[in-house]
Amino acid sequence: MTTSGTSAFNLDLNNLIEEAFERCGAELRTGYDMRTARRSLNLLTIEWANRGINLWTIEQGQIELVTGQGIYPIPTNTIDLLDMVVRQNNGIPSNQIDINISRISESTYSTIPNKLVTGRPIQVWFNRQSGQSNSTTVTLNGTINATATSITVSDASVLPIGGFIKIDNETISYANVVGNVLTNCYRGQNGTTAASHTTGAAISVQNLPSINVWPTPAAGGSPYTFVYWRLRRVQDAGTNGSVEPDIPFRFLPCMVAGLAFYLAQKLPDALQRMQFLKSEYEEQWLMASTEDREKAAIRFVPRTTFYA
């Protein structure tokens, strides 16, 4: 018997949606059917992010830490941070050192008396914001150049006391507010470029996911790099029906079963199948998520504390 010799089967968006409709006892007929299925598919992948770790979405990233700067933006499609270290001598094979940094909660970070003290960062709080921007009535009060570290605004009372703002095309982080002056400003954040801005420029608040490191990086010696492993969002279904979903082949049965269950909630003729489709979806999710796990041995290392 001759086999195909290939192992490349996949479903593009059109075929995936068509299979889900067939499981509902319906047919994909109109452009609206495609749109509503694509919307449900995007909601399905968001649900997966809430169900736990999707190993294929783990990515490594790094941030060059700047002397005195305590807050840094993280890509907006980040779900969570898994592991993180502070690296010294980044990229130097003989001297590169990764040092553990402890993740702390918001309540722990808020109790730190002096958040601007400098040193080697040993703790980090991950602030899981939405990534959305909010317009405000606040404007720039006075022209600033690309190197200004204090920014005077028309009314700082409506702004958070620390975080990110956007002026024109530039994102700026700041750590404190004194009167109507934003202090400890770091320019050109989130991939933008520091630039001059004129008085009266509109200011919006950016709710960016971010890390707050403590202590803030100290000057001198080798620079610090924050290296992290993150979970990112599954890519959107998109509008091109010939694209393939951003999942490994192992999750194809689960995605089809989940989409069929979602569609059954919207198709009157499929309501009688909904309970069956839900059970099938949960069974497929259990099989896929059980397989999609770390299979390395687990080590538990106790931390020793010495008391005087």
List 151's β-bridge partners, or say none.
Answer: 182
Q: What is the average pLDDT across 52-67? A: 94
Output phi, psi for 212, to 5 deg: -115, 115
Q: What share of the chain in percent tops pLDDT 90?
A: 87
This prediction's pTM: 0.89
pLDDT score at 306: 54
State the DSSP code for 153: B
Residues 131-157 pLDDT 10s: 999 999 999 999 999 999 999 999 999
DSSP H helical ranges for 101-251: 106-110
Q: Quick one: 202 exposed, middle or buried, by C-beta within 10 A (0-12, 13-18, 19+)?
A: middle
Q: What is the average pLDDT across 66-95? A: 94
Strands 216-217 and 118-119, sheet pairing? parallel
Q: From residue 214, give the alpha-carbon distance in Å to each of 81, 86, 89, 129.
A: 17, 11, 19, 19
Residues 12-54 pLDDT 10s: 999 999 999 999 999 999 999 999 999 999 999 999 999 988 9
Instruction: Determine the Cα–Cα distance for residues 240 and 218; give it in Å rounded to an integer.
Output: 49
Q: What is the average pLDDT across 292-300? A: 80
Q: What is the average pLDDT across 284-305? A: 82
Output phi, psi for 6, to 5 deg: -125, 155
C-beta pairs of 233-240 under 8 Å, 24+ apart in sequence: 233/45, 233/46, 233/49, 233/57, 233/77, 233/78, 233/79, 234/45, 234/48, 234/49, 234/54, 234/57, 236/42, 237/13, 237/38, 237/41, 237/42, 237/45, 238/13, 238/38, 239/38, 240/13
Instruction: Determine the Cα–Cα distance for residues 264 and 280; give it in Å rounded to an integer.
Output: 13
DSSP string spanning 157-194?
GGS-SSEEEEETTEEEEE-EEETTEEES-EEEETT---
Largest CA distance in the chain: 81
